[in-house]
Amino acid sequence: MKLAFSRAIACAICLAWGLPAPAHHSGAAEFDSSKKIDLTGVVTNVEWTNPHAHFYMDVKDSIGNVANWNLELASPNVLIRNGWKRNSIKPGDLVSVTGVRAKDSSNYASAGVITFPDGHRLTFLSADEPAK
């Protein structure tokens, strides 16, 4: 009971600060909860890999310059159990992403919520609907 409690607390702290849920490293050591991102762009690549899945997206700024961002997700074993599929997001998809940026201020972030044009959403950990 005590362990379950401490895990729940750790998870709650991470989520409250916008940090990714506990993984193989400290989220607080990698991401800055004060550096929020809100990006819209087109997915260019997906890496369905461990210890984290990643997707990349081209984001245009107001004067048309394009930057490619690297967005981090949980690992495929966690995502699959929470309703994701390996093709839940794919190159060519137009998506909006909120999350937190890496402490080194590179174009690298933890993807908190991913929203598609039809309104359905994926998160760092889970899909809208549970696994079928």
Partner 1 sequence: MKARRSDQVSKRIAMGIVSGALLAIFSLPAQQASAPGQPAPSTNDSKPKTGNIGLYRNQQLAPDGPAAKLADGTPDLSGVWLGSGGSDADISNPKALKPGEQVVMLPWAEEVVKNRLSKQDPEANCLPAGIPRGSPYPWRIVQTPTHYFILFEGNIHSYRQIFMNGKHPDDPDPTWYGHSIGRWDGNTLVVDTVGFNDKFWFDYKGHPHTEKLHTIERYTRTDLGHMSIEVTIDDPGTYAKPFTTVGRATLMPGTELLEYICQENNQDLPKLQGPARGPGGQ
Cβ neighbors of 111 (< 8 A, separation 6 or more) are 55, 71, 72, 73, 97, 99, 123, 124
* Euclidean distance between CA atoms 80 and 90, whole angstroms: 16
Q: Which of residues 3-22 bind partner 1 (CB under 8 A)?
A: 3-7, 10-11, 13-14, 16-17, 19, 21-22
Q: Does 85 engage in binding with partner 1 (CB under 8 A)?
A: no
Question: 72, 88, 93, 112: which one contacts partner 1 (CB under 8 A)?
Answer: 72
Instruction: Give the three-class secondary structure for 40.
Output: strand
Query: Which amino acid type is present at position 114?
Result: I
Where along the sequence are the contacts to partner 1 (CB under 8 A)?
1-7, 10-11, 13-14, 16-17, 19, 21-30, 47, 49-52, 54, 70, 72, 74-78, 80-83, 102-104, 106, 108, 125-126, 130-131
